[in-house]
């Protein structure tokens, strides 16, 4: 009899996040990377299901490529492999992860321009319209869906309509939102979307994935600026090898991810998961407001993934001490990262439920040693 191991604390961080005991238990055996039981029984169904989660309307136009490494490796694979040598990229940035897109473009020497709207603002649609109208050399636009710096959800619908209206390719870093926020990439016209195992699908860290439009991906052979992060080559191996990865795959992590996908389905799918995350976040904000904590973002920009709160200004308050007291009580929170704002963050995704948020609020109330 295997026993399910409970964790010492709940991770209220947006990745890695708290996973279910059954997801962790799924890692408890070894797999052969060239045997069909693994490739056709685990890898291929994962690729198919991810496409189906990304679009209900037109799955046949898209494919999914899994890539070793943390989420950033997949972002780098996407940018480095799908932007041609004479193409030009527009980066919409409003936080750490938007800036990272520009950093990757810099590092890979991809010709690019940055539209930075500031960490507390959404991209300016009129400005984007002008930028696309005036610079015909821009071929691709990339943005972050859920900006984990603040918890901002960027408005994909009007941005996608504008980018597609100008006939450009649209790439989305939906790392922290995919699986927890409903969307249909075919309906939106998104060409490539990237996410990873350890965010809203609720797997453990170790790989990411890119869901891309086949008709474009087919044209990108030889474009990759890296040997190992070559999306087209990985795609071809996965197709021809029926689930085979080019280099050693993180087998245990992949098997755990398969279990996480089953659990997402059992929960009722993305819409139901989104409702749970939203309820977690609503309870959190209501309770924190009662305790005197103010949110960093205006409510209309705030998504259900992670929420920033201003640190108390009391002279006796110290984040490190507050953090340690909460950890002692079984909850791990996250420091802030918004420039110039003294804040901390609490994630509401993962194997975390409204009653956990109620317990968290009691723990916070009893840890307010400065009040
Ligand atoms: C988590 C995350 C990433 C990837 O971060 P890694 O540390 O490489 O996994 C990228 N973009 C966003 C918006 C994220 O939340």
Please check whether residue 125 lies inside any domain of the structure.
yes
What is the predicted pLDDT for the residue at 365?
A: 98
Task: Specify the length of the chain in residues.
Answer: 371
Ligand 1 centre distance from Cα of residue 204 (Å): 13
Looking at the DSSP bridge assignments, the partners of residue 276 are: none
Residues 273 and 200 reside in one and the same domain: no
**Do 225 and 337 share a structural domain?**
no
pLDDT value of residue 14: 86
The 3-state DSSP class for residue 263 equals helix
- Domain-terminating residue out of 239, 267, 295: 267
- CATH code (residue 291): 3.90.1150.10
283 shares its domain with 189: no
Summary count for the chain: helices (H), strands (E): 14, 14
Q: Is residue 331 part of a domain?
A: yes
Same domain, 160 and 240: yes
What's 144's domain CATH number? 3.40.640.10
Question: What's the pLDDT at 1?
Answer: 47
- CB crowding 298-317: b at 16 or more within 10 Å, else e: eeebbbbbbbbbebbeeeee
Domain boundary among 229, 249, 267: 267
Report the C-alpha gap between 7 and 274 in whole angstroms. 24
Does a structural domain hold residue 2?
A: no
SS3 346: strand
Check whether residue 105 and residue 185 sit in a common domain.
yes
**119 shares its domain with 156:** yes
The residue out of 267, 300, 333 marking a domain boundary is 267
Nearest partner of 19 among 41, 39, 31, 4, judged by Cα:
4
What's the rounded Cα separation, in Å, for the pair 60 and 48?
10
pLDDT at 337: 87
Residues 6+ apart with CB under 8 A from 51: 59, 62, 63, 64, 211
84, 204: one domain? yes
Beta pairing class for 207-213 and 62-68:
antiparallel
Ligand 1, pocket residues at CB < 6 Å = 14-15, 70-72, 75, 97, 144, 148, 173, 175-176, 196
Is residue 281 located within the same domain as residue 158?
Answer: no
Cα(156)–Cα(146) distance, integer angstroms:
10
Render pLDDT for 201-223 as a digit per residue (tens, 0 to 9): 999 999 999 999 999 999 999 99
In the chain, how many domains are there? 2
Statement to judge: residues 192 and 72 lie in one domain = yes
Kindly state whether residue 302 falls inside one of the protein's structural domains. yes
Crossing angle of helices 354-365 and 319-328, in 10° steps, is: 120
197 and 161 within one domain: yes
Q: Which helix (H) or strand (E) holds 231?
A: helix 231-240
With the most atoms of ligand 1 within 8 angstroms of its CB, the residue from 94, 97, 177, 210 to mutate is 97
Secondary structure letter of residue 112 according to DSSP: E
Per-residue pLDDT of the chain (371 residues; tens, 9 = 90+): 456 677 789 999 988 999 999 999 999 999 999 899 999 999 999 999 999 999 999 999 999 999 999 999 999 999 999 999 999 999 999 999 999 999 999 999 999 999 999 999 999 999 999 999 999 999 999 999 999 999 999 999 999 999 999 999 999 999 999 999 999 999 999 999 999 999 999 999 999 999 999 999 999 999 999 999 999 999 999 999 999 999 999 999 999 999 999 999 999 999 999 999 999 999 999 999 999 999 999 999 999 999 999 999 999 999 999 999 999 999 999 999 898 999 999 999 999 999 999 999 999 999 999 99
Let me know the angle formed at the C-alpha of 157 by 153 and 160, rounded to the nearest 5 degrees: 110
String of b and e for 237-260 (b: at least 16 CB within 10 Å)? bbeeeebbbbeebbbbbbbbbbbb
- Classify residue 3: in a domain, yes or no: no
Nearest-atom number in ligand 1 for the CA of 148 is 15
Residue 371 belongs to some domain of the structure: no
Give the SS3 label for residue 292.
coil
Mutate to test the pocket of ligand 1, among 175, 250, 349 (most ligand atoms within 8 A of CB): 175
Claim to verify: residue 254 and residue 330 sit in the same structural domain: no
Strand blocks (E) in the chain: 10-11, 62-68, 89-93, 112-116, 140-144, 146-147, 152-153, 169-173, 192-196, 207-213, 306-310, 331-332, 334-335, 343-347
The edge-to-edge listing of strands for the beta sheet with 62-68 is 62-68, 207-213, 192-196, 169-173, 140-144, 89-93, 112-116
* CA dist., res. 274 & res. 293, Å (int): 24
Which residues constitute the domain of residue 132? 22-267
Beta-strand pair 334-335/207-213: unpaired
The CA distance from 152 to 365, in Å, is 26
Q: What is the 320 CA–ligand 1 centroid distance (Å)?
A: 24
């Amino acid at each position: 009899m295997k026993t399910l191991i409970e964790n010492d604390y709940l991770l209220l961080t947006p990745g890695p996040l708290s996973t279910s005991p059954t997801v962790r238990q799924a890692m408890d055996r070894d797999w052969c990377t060239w045997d069909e039981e693994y490739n056709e029984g685990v890898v291929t169904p994962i690729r198919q299901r991810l496409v189906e989660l990304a679009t209900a309307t037109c799955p046949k136009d898209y494919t999914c490529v899994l890539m070793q490494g943390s989420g950033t490796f997949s972002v780098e694979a996407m940018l480095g492999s799908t932007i041609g040598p004479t193409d030009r990229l527009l980066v919409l940035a409003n936080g750490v992860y938007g800036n990272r897109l520009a950093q990757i473009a810099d590092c890979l020497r991809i010709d690019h321009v940055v539209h930075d709207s500031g960490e507390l603002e959404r991209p300016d649609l009129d400005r984007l319209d002008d930028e696309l109208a005036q610079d015909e050399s821009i071929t691709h636009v990339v943005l972050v869906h859920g900006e984990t710096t603040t918890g901002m959800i960027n408005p994909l619908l009007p941005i996608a309509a504008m980018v597609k209206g100008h006939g450009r390719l649209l790439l989305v870093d939906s790392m922290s939102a995919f699986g927890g926020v409903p969307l249909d990439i075919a309906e939106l016209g998104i060409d490539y979307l990237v996410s990873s195992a350890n965010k809203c699908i609720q797997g453990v860290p170790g790989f990411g994935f890119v869901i891309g439009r086949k008709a474009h991906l087919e044209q990108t052979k030889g474009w990759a600026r890296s040997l190992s992060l070559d999306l087209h080559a990985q795609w071809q191996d996965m197709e021809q090898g029926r689930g085979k990865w080019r280099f050693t795959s993180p087998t245990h992590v992949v098997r755990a991810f398969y279990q996480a996908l089953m659990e997402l389905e059992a929960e009722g799918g993305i819409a139901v998961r989104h409702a749970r995350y939203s309820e977690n976040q609503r309870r959190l904000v209501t309770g924190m407001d009662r305790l005197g904590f103010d949110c960093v973002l205006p409510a209309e920009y705030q998504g259900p993934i992670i929420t920033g709160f201003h640190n108390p200004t009391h002279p006796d308050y110290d984040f490190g001490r507050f953090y340690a007291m909460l950890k002692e009580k079984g909850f791990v929170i996250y420091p802030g990262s918004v420039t110039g704002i003294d804040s901390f963050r609490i994630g509401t995704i993962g194997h975390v439920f409204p009653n956990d948020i109620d317990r968290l609020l009691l723990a916070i109330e009893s840890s307010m040693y400065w009040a």
